[in-house]
Structure 1
Amino acid sequence: MTQTDADQDQLMRLLMKISQQDRRAFQELYEHIAARMFGLCLRLAGQRELAEEALQDAFIQIWHRAGEYHSDRGAPLGWMMTIARYRTLDLIRARKVRQTVNDEDLNELDDGRDGPLELSLRESGAQKLTGCLDELSDVQRDSILLSYYRGFTHEELAQALSSPIGTVKSWIRRGLMALKRCLEQ
């Protein structure tokens, strides 16, 4: 068993204990993954205060929803990172905060380490997804990634890509259909 498998098994055991209201397991989980989750929240939000709030909200959700985790939802870390990402995006939308992070920051950090997007994809076992994304046209891939990882609405995408909203919606719809076909192979 690799370290990654052992790490994922440990996270699964902690989630099971947390679902039974085990506070020590929750503290151990927090110590184990909070820094990674905070890094993702900070990169998405671009604001420390907002990232801290998103992280706190994510851990509250994990505490309340640990019993809902099933391995068919992906790796435990991927599931928890997704919760953190959605909480961050929800807070951004609620406050109508504009993000200032550029796309390269999601892929790679200044010191050459993988960024939160790359880590999230790899840790959730999404190599096939990455390969399928590479098969999309540039505009389809950009539309999907900006929508998924940066939380852009259709209107914001249309503005950012200087294209009509109907065209942007078509790119996303066709891109998602192509991804679905590719992933089902």
Structure 2
Amino acid sequence: MSPIHYLEETTLISLLKNKDQRAFNYLYDNYAGALYGVIIRIVLSKTYADEVIQDVFVKIWNHVDTFDSTKGRLYTWMINIARNVAIDCIKSKGVQNEQKNQSLPNIVDDKEKHNFTIAEDVDFIGFKTVLNELKTDWKQLIEMAYFEGYTQQEIAVKLDIPLGTVKTRTRGALLELKRILKEYQ
């Protein structure tokens, strides 16, 4: 079988739902880097990120039938899977225990090693331009929630604002992102 060089999203989804291995290879080749960028920002460990990326692609492969194109794009769906699996990883007892037992210099070194900016992680997919169109407080919420792995409750505490405000602003930001992304299509 020869490799696939370009697929429209609808074709890719159809092939994935039919369990076409070439489509899976195409998906991995074209999206693994972007998904890995999101994952590493959350888990802060190459070892965990490598495990999480595998889990993400297994979930995508096994659950592609649940993807609904009327609710959003394939990439957005995959990003949400990656984010959720990464958050589940760092909240797992094993990871939390290991982090508690890690010496302070190692924790500091890890955070410094992985202190990326949004520009470094997602600019290659053009998302920096989209994020820069958001109001500053909305942009901050999206970065914290989707690129740093904070929950809405954690964002409320960190920014010292009510949880309801975080939820309202996040909804507004996501609606605005949706509007902006439609302009780019």
Q: TM-score, normalised to structure 2's length?
A: 0.64
Where does residue 171 of structure 1 map in the other structure?
165
Instruction: Return the letter of the residue paired with 1:40.
Output: V
Contact 2:156 2:166 in 1 (8 A): no
Match of 1:105 among 93, 96, 116: 116
Query: What is the rounded CA distance, in whole Å, between the counterparts of 1:150 and 1:36 in structure 2?
Result: 14
Spell out, residue by residue over 1:83-115, the C-alpha distance to the aligned partner (whole angstroms, 9 max, x if none).
Answer: 222211221222346883799824122xxxxx2
Contact 2:43 2:87 in 1 (8 A): yes
Give ranges in structure 2 of 5+ residues lacking alignment: 100-106, 180-185
Query: What is the rounded CA distance, in whole Å, between the counterparts of 2:20 and 2:139 in structure 1?
Result: 41
Percent of pairs with identical residues: 22
The alignment covers a number of residue pairs equal to: 162
Query: What is the rounded CA distance, in whole Å, between the counterparts of 1:16 and 1:178 in structure 2?
Result: 32
Equivalent runs, 1:68-83 vs 2, <5 Å: 68-83=66-81
> In angstroms, what is the RMSD of aligned CA positions?
3.7
Query: What is the rounded CA distance, in whole Å, between the counterparts of 2:74 and 2:175 in structure 1?
Result: 25
Contact 2:39 2:49 in 1 (8 A): yes
Residue 73 of structure 1 aligns to a residue whose secondary structure is coil
Instruction: Return the letter of the residue paired with 1:173.
Output: K
Q: TM-score, normalised to structure 1's length?
A: 0.64
**Do the aligned partners of residues 39 and 142 (structure 1) sit closer, same or farther apart at CA in structure 2, a change above 3 Å counting?**
closer
Residue 47 of structure 2 aligns to a residue whose secondary structure is helix
Where does residue 59 of structure 2 map in the other structure?
61
Instruction: Return the letter of the residue paired with 1:66.
Output: V
C-alpha displacement of 1:62: 0.8
Instruction: Return the letter of the residue paired with 2:43.
Output: A
C-alpha displacement of 1:7: 5.2
Larger relative contact order (CA 8 Å, sep ≥ 6): 2
Give ranges in structure 1 of 5+ residues lacking alignment: 1-5, 110-114
C-alpha displacement of 1:66: 1.6
Match of 1:119 among 125, 148, 153: 125
Contact 1:143 1:171 in 2 (8 A): no
Residue 56 of structure 2 aligns to a residue whose secondary structure is helix
Query: What is the rounded CA distance, in whole Å, between the counterparts of 2:34 and 2:142 in structure 1?
Result: 24
Where does residue 183 of structure 2 map in the other structure?
none
